[in-house]
Amino acid sequence: MTGFVTLPEAPAFVLKNATLPAICLADTTGLDAREGLISADITIENGRIGAIAAPGAAPAALPATDLRGGMVWPTFTDMHTHIDKGHIWERRRNPDGTFMGALENVSADRQANWSADDVAARMEFSLKCAYAHGTGLLRTHIDSLPPQHEISFEVFSDIREKWADRIELQAVALFAIDMIFEPFFDDLVALLKRRNGLIGGVTQMLPDLDARLDRMFQAAGDAGLDIDLHVDETEDREVLTLGRIAEAKMRNKFEGAVTVGHCCSLARQDEDTARRTIDRVAEAEIAVVSLPMCNMYLQDRHAGVTPRWRGVTLFKELAAAGVKTAVASDNTRDPFYAYGDLDPVEVIRESVRILHLDHPLDDTPRIITRTPAEILGRPERGVIAEGGPADLVLFSARRWSEFLSRPQADRIVMRNGMGIDRSLPDYRELDPLMDK
């Protein structure tokens, strides 16, 4: 895929007249921001960033590419995905597009088809897409009902090693919390310790929810594991486990990182309930990731009825309370979401529209760069810094409206100071899997 400029073939060169989101810079000393954007020359030396200086300040003797105001971002962090179930749409669709339809059809496909070879092929395809789009760090949730947890985590471990020099990978075990008092849970925790994973799960309004959460936090604390949960992915106002999770984290004095995703029903609460819940989440220092594309697709879907709400959480209110907030891809071409390509640019473009993250846009780039990298414990990956790796994404777009109005298909992805081949995998590669 051809980019909008040609990079010099030299160990040291300059990206002239670049525009950088200020929020994505580790240090803005001496650089003036306008609408959250900074103009600069970037010197690349042996695969790393040598200097970020005012336009015209870079060494004139070095080869240079003039970006003519084009944007430069760090590589993206896609912190909530499902690459183990991705790309099964053509063999197992969701005819009515509902959440229950998604659950039923994924379950049926998993039982029928998810061998090690099948999971590996679809994971590989997903990562090829993510890499070509500019993702450098990705967390995936892995369906972990027995015996699938053993199959999929072994596959993931192999792929994580194979892809280590392209995308850093993390994995979360996704299982039903009603299994937490079964022997299976102890087996799962042991597996996650061996495989360097995280405890996940789906919280439900069960009579003994607090006891189940206590069991999870205690097990995670004993094993030294972080937690990443699917929470309140529903329009039902009666379902609100988010505050209970915050209380459980504090009650158990859990010192690990806790992330929650979705939190859709929070937006269905009265103002007092919503505020109390948000305050508890902030107090507990829990991070929240919103998945706007999938949530708009699934939530408030009823046959023959136009949806009345957007399906997303109270993103702005959470951020205003000091909660770390981010967005991510979620599902890709499976019964939970029929579309998507693991492209963070698509995610942020849609998120700006769905969540009204504009006017101003100054800090918005953080939601697919700096903040999710911090949440995943890899803050250095979310910023552009002198001395850091030249892992960058270059865009022809100069200003926010230009960036958000087109898909940026001609972007350039740089890894270690060199442009990569951005060719996307052909869907036909998956045809042998779809014939089952």
Question: Among all residues, which ones are annotated catalytic?
Answer: 233
What span, in angstroms and rounded, lies between the C-alpha atoms of 167 and 127? 8
Contact 323, 282 (CB under 8 A): yes
For Cα atoms 253, 257, 260, give the angle at the middle one, nearest 5 degrees.
105
Largest CA distance in the chain: 71
Question: What b/e sequence results for 318-354 when a residue is b if at least 16 CB atoms lie within 10 Å of its CB, and e otherwise?
Answer: bbebebbbbbbbbbbbbbbbeebbbbbbbbbbbbbeb
Q: What are phi and psi of 313, to 5 degrees?
A: -80, 180
Please list, in sequence order, all residues whose beta carbon lies within 8 angstroms of the beta carbon of residue 92, skipping any fewer than 6 positions away: 105, 106, 108, 109, 113, 334, 335
Structure tokens at 3: 């980019």
Residue 160's H or E segment, with its range, is: helix 148-162
What span, in angstroms and rounded, lies between the C-alpha atoms of 330 and 337? 8
Assign 432 to helix, strand or coil.
helix
What span, in angstroms and rounded, lies between the C-alpha atoms of 283 and 281? 5
Of 37, 3, 78, nearest in space to 394 by CA? 3
Contact 78, 401 (CB under 8 A): no
